[in-house]
Structure 1
Amino acid sequence: MYKKLSNIFSQYSGLSKSAYVIFFAKMITNMGAFIWPLLTLILKRKIGYSASTIAIISLVIGIIYLPATVLGGKLADKYDRKKIIIIFDSISVIFFISCAFVKPSNLMTALFVIAGLFATMEGPAFEALIADATKPQERDKAYSLSYLGHNLGFIIGGAIGGLLFEKYLSLAFIIDGLTTLSSTILIILFVNVLNVDDLTDNEKNEYEDHASNDVSSFDILKERKSILIQLLVFMLAAFIYNQFSFTLPLYMETIFSDKGAQYFGLLSSFNGLIVILFTPVMTHILEKLDELPKIIIGLLLYSLSFLIIRNTVIYWVFFVMMFVFTIGEIINTLGASPYISRRVPASHRGRINSYSNIVYFIGGIAGRITMGWVIDTFSYTTAFTILAGIGIVSTIIAYLNYKLDKKIFPKLYEKKIIL
């Protein structure tokens, strides 16, 4: 038993220094990440929007964010990625903290949207920097550790956020902004980009070699079609996953009334706890499995989780649902996070990452709009059934793309377990 536990945790030893810095930065950020998980309830309870109106607001935000994401990706490939991160993050923090000094209103919503806009523009640079700072063969473990840090902070932030929601919402905005700023400073000071020339031949991945400046990101996608198809899968996955912060809290508020926010906060912390306990375990168990099979398994568990609460009003059943959902989240993340980084030239990471962010936005927004309409027109039972169906469809697409991906990137599948 001791040897097995030792193997689980020792798998994170020997990574690049930057991987550990990113871990701590993620943890600090999410210790203060109170607002994003509670955004739906802020819009509904504090400002008074209906489910359909919240979905429309999400649509407008998405439309605004799409060009910002593309611009952020282009800037990340053209300029120093660290500078991009510190400039956009600083602006985001200023607007975010300013939300603490206004009452819940349309103005607060506008300030929050602006803060999110600059955070969105920073996103492609940050994702590209993680790949730039880690070796190709350690990418699985580096992303796993980053994800673990994200949730170590989130387990604390989720519970505190639920408690601050009713009377101390302003304090939540301030703490969230300051923790984001502190983690950004850590990344700027201590995360270093690896020099490809210093890597051995066994450590290099030819699919990450820089492409010519004349080659556009669209040319890359046309040549490597499985990436394009996988972006569709990411969009469908985002459609489902986004309901964790939309349909689920609305459903819990409908069932549990005024205690809905508190119960959802505790459930969010449970999500973080499961991630902390099982991310190292699943990383170790599935380390020989390719990215796409992991994504397939994760999507199937997503589908099953929403069927579990399809007709329930019993609180403990939500924890069963969340356990299944979170295991699916872990496995899906272990596959999705390193997928793009290993198949895209380093010179185009920012732009391709921006496309990835775009499809996540589209999937999330489409999910909110669709589920908002379904909830208002039909019922939560219908909504959960639709989510399960979309999960099955996305699983089939991912499986077919797995076969194509092996033909396009054969060297990535050498010495791997093939399903």
Structure 2
Amino acid sequence: MPAGMRPSEEGASEPYFPPRPLKRRWLFRERLRLFRGEHGTPSRDAVQADRPPAGRVQGSPGVSLVSARMCRVNRPGICHAQRLPENGRGRQGRCRVPSPGENRGSSCFKMSGPVKNRKYLFITAWNFWNKAPHTGYSPVIMKPVPEFKKNILSRAATPYRDLPASVYALFTATVVNGTGIFVFPFLALILTRRFGLSPKETGDILFLTTIAYVPGNLIGGKMTDLFGRKRVMMISQFLSALMFVPCGFLSDPYMIAGFVIASVFFDGITDPARQAMSMDVTRPENRQTAFSLIYMGHNLGFGIGQLIAGFLFAAAPSWLFWGNACAACAALVLVGVFIPETLPSREELELSMLSDSTEKALDGGLFRALLSRPRLLVFSFLITFYGFAYAQHRFALPMQAGELFGDDGARLFGFLMTMNAVLVIILTTPIVALMKRFAPIFNVAVAGLLFAFGFGILAFARSPWVFFMSTLIWTTGEVLNVTNERVYVSNHTPMSHRGRFNAVLPLVTGLGFSISPPVGGRIADLSGIPSVWIMVSSAAALAALGLFYLGVWERRRNFA
């Protein structure tokens, strides 16, 4: 018999490819799928092909048979497989094979790979055992695998491949819009240092800007569901940007404050339309990745914008207003050109009512829709405690740094905020890639535990290194929470009420953020800042436990 051949069960010779020893660096976690019956039941996206003597082979539809290698059993229960790509660099994997007496069909696994965030190797052992455990073979069918680019940018972009084009357009528009957020971070400095208003007057103006956002948000939610996301967003954001233009020419601080308050009102109308549009262009299976990309785009743009705004505040203050307006209009151009109207049609709404999806449309008003989603209401109530804890990083954290380190406390707090911004950009991609396998509600529960631990250790902080460690922990929780909270809300929001839900629920969840500073201030006066951290840590931990229980309850009842 020629070398490299081995007799088959039918007496004919067949190619023999002895497996090479497995290398640790190419071994991946097996994912097993057991198939019932004599020949098993293939997965819904599988195709079958006859290939004697191993029986049947499974592969994804449209897979090119680039190479078919024989899979030989070295010992009972283990099948070694080998991939030989065009560049000659091999990868190996293994799949479990039933023992001769099990009679449970066969099992397989997919080898994970970095190529387009998909599985690229599919091995199946079909009716593997006929007579003896060492005489069976099974071919391996593989997709063509391009050479993987090893530069950092390519690896960072891997989780965000294959998203809809509208998501990339929203990401770009978010970066542009975030870059132009000049006015609000510097509004207090503009009113006090440039126009000489007192801290009390400045505080009243900032309070009015917050109040103006609420009616705009409620109006925008209703208009978004009635007239469409794109139409409402284009008109309201343009009016919001337009309000900044006269501010660059005015010298009366009260008139400037009036235009800024009007701008905030129109921005409140814009936000529900923007959030509903991001829900419309995504699906439950890619929302976590898409929302994390948009979130990272906002932080990236905001970080760049604050550097520009700091220069403009000193050199050309009027361009803080004009630059903000220009950036908002540029973002609108991107939305107008690359994103179509995403409002579901009447036919789509009626068709969704026949499904069992948690996003199916509902007839009736907002109050009835909210009552039909009790789990979402419980979720929003528990998230309020997260906002209560998170708000203290802007209130108790700088106060504690000042008490412990005096004048160096301000520099330490500035460094911690810079560290937070950098970590958000760095950690978003790996955290999403690591945690996307878990349900969003459990990820949000883990984020609460990180908040509890990260803020809790500040009660015992005496060294700057404790502040650095705390910032790393609670920033990780922030990324995990932001990239999963909206996913859960989106997956449980009726598609007919997305605008209104995105107007009301943020007001509920933001309540904790709003009341946290005054409550924390009173506790700090009574018993000191460490007591504040113990309080917020306990609140975050209790909310995390509640979310975990809600997730377990959903899983037991097979809720989405």
Tell me the TM-score normalized by structure 2. Answer: 0.63
| Cα distance change, pair 311–168 in 1 and its aligned pair in 2 (3 A) | farther
- CA contact under 8 A between 1:161 and 1:265: conserved in structure 2? no
Superposition map of 1:281-360 within 5 A: 281-310=430-459, 312=461, 317-360=466-509
**Residue of structure 1 in register with 2:368 after alignment:** 219
Higher RCO (C-alpha under 8 Å, 6+ residues apart): 1
**Structure 1 residue 102 displacement after superposition:** 5.3
Partners in 2 of 1:252 and 1:97 — Cα distance?
Answer: 39
Instruction: Note the residue ranges of structure 1 that are not aligned, 5 or more in a row.
Output: 413-419
Say which of 75, 98, 116 aligns to 2:223: 75
- CA contact under 8 A between 1:18 and 1:191: conserved in structure 2? yes
Say which of 143, 168, 175 aligns to 1:20: 168
Say which of 110, 132, 147 aligns to 2:295: 147
Structure richer in strand, relative to its length: 2
**Structure 1 residue 349 displacement after superposition:** 0.5
Superposition map of 1:124-139 within 5 A: 124-139=272-287
Post-superposition Cα deviations, 1:201-236, rounded to whole Å, max 9, x if no partner, equal: 9xx982223222xx2222222222110111112322
**Residue of structure 1 in register with 2:199 after alignment:** 49
Partners in 2 of 1:64 and 1:208 — Cα distance?
Answer: 30
Question: Is 1:399–2:548 an aligned residue pair?
Answer: yes
**Structure 1 residue 397 displacement after superposition:** 2.5
Matching residue's letter, 1:22? L
- CA contact under 8 A between 1:243 and 1:368: conserved in structure 2? yes
Partners in 2 of 1:172 and 1:108 — Cα distance?
Answer: 12
**Structure 1 residue 290 displacement after superposition:** 0.6
- 1:346 alignment partner, SS class: coil
Question: Is 1:206–2:357 an aligned residue pair?
Answer: yes
**Residue of structure 1 in register with 2:241 after alignment:** 93
- CA contact under 8 A between 1:58 and 1:365: conserved in structure 2? no
**Structure 1 residue 93 displacement after superposition:** 1.6
| Cα distance change, pair 388–157 in 1 and its aligned pair in 2 (3 A) | farther
- CA contact under 8 A between 2:212 and 2:264: conserved in structure 1? no
Partners in 2 of 1:293 and 1:259 — Cα distance?
Answer: 36
| Cα distance change, pair 354–168 in 1 and its aligned pair in 2 (3 A) | same
**Structure 1 residue 268 displacement after superposition:** 3.4
Post-superposition Cα deviations, 1:157-216, rounded to whole Å, max 9, x if no partner, equal: 344555666676544343333222211221222123567889xx9xx982223222xx22
| Cα distance change, pair 91–250 in 1 and its aligned pair in 2 (3 A) | farther
Deviates more, 1:1-10 or 1:219-228: 1-10
RMSD of equivalent CA atoms = 3.7
Superposition map of 1:58-73 within 5 A: 61-73=209-221
Matching residue's letter, 2:357? E
Deviates more, 1:59-68 or 1:140-149: 59-68
- CA contact under 8 A between 2:220 and 2:503: conserved in structure 1? yes
Instruction: Note the residue ranges of structure 2 that are not aligned, 5 or more in a row.
Output: 1-24, 27-112, 115-151
**Structure 1 residue 379 displacement after superposition:** 4.1
Partners in 1 of 2:180 and 2:398 — Cα distance?
Answer: 20
Partners in 2 of 1:226 and 1:172 — Cα distance?
Answer: 43
- CA contact under 8 A between 2:248 and 2:322: conserved in structure 1? yes
**Structure 1 residue 292 displacement after superposition:** 0.8
Matching residue's letter, 2:305? G
- 1:206 alignment partner, SS class: coil
Post-superposition Cα deviations, 1:85-122, rounded to whole Å, max 9, x if no partner, equal: 12211222233454445569555544433322221121
Deviates more, 1:112-121 or 1:152-161: 152-161
**Structure 1 residue 286 displacement after superposition:** 0.6
**Structure 1 residue 313 displacement after superposition:** 7.0
Partners in 2 of 1:256 and 1:103 — Cα distance?
Answer: 37
**Structure 1 residue 394 displacement after superposition:** 1.9
**Structure 1 residue 15 displacement after superposition:** 0.8
Deviates more, 1:13-22 or 1:147-156: 147-156
Identity of aligned residues (%): 26
- CA contact under 8 A between 1:159 and 1:269: conserved in structure 2? no
- CA contact under 8 A between 1:156 and 1:269: conserved in structure 2? no
- CA contact under 8 A between 1:159 and 1:268: conserved in structure 2? no
Partners in 1 of 2:241 and 2:270 — Cα distance?
Answer: 12
Equivalent residues, number? 403
- CA contact under 8 A between 1:62 and 1:361: conserved in structure 2? no
Structure richer in helix, relative to its length: 1
Tell me the TM-score normalized by structure 1. Answer: 0.81
**Structure 1 residue 10 displacement after superposition:** 1.7
- CA contact under 8 A between 2:236 and 2:266: conserved in structure 1? yes
Post-superposition Cα deviations, 1:266-316, rounded to whole Å, max 9, x if no partner, equal: 543432221221111011111111111111111222222223444657656
**Residue of structure 1 in register with 2:118 after alignment:** none
| Cα distance change, pair 229–180 in 1 and its aligned pair in 2 (3 A) | same
Partners in 1 of 2:428 and 2:166 — Cα distance?
Answer: 20
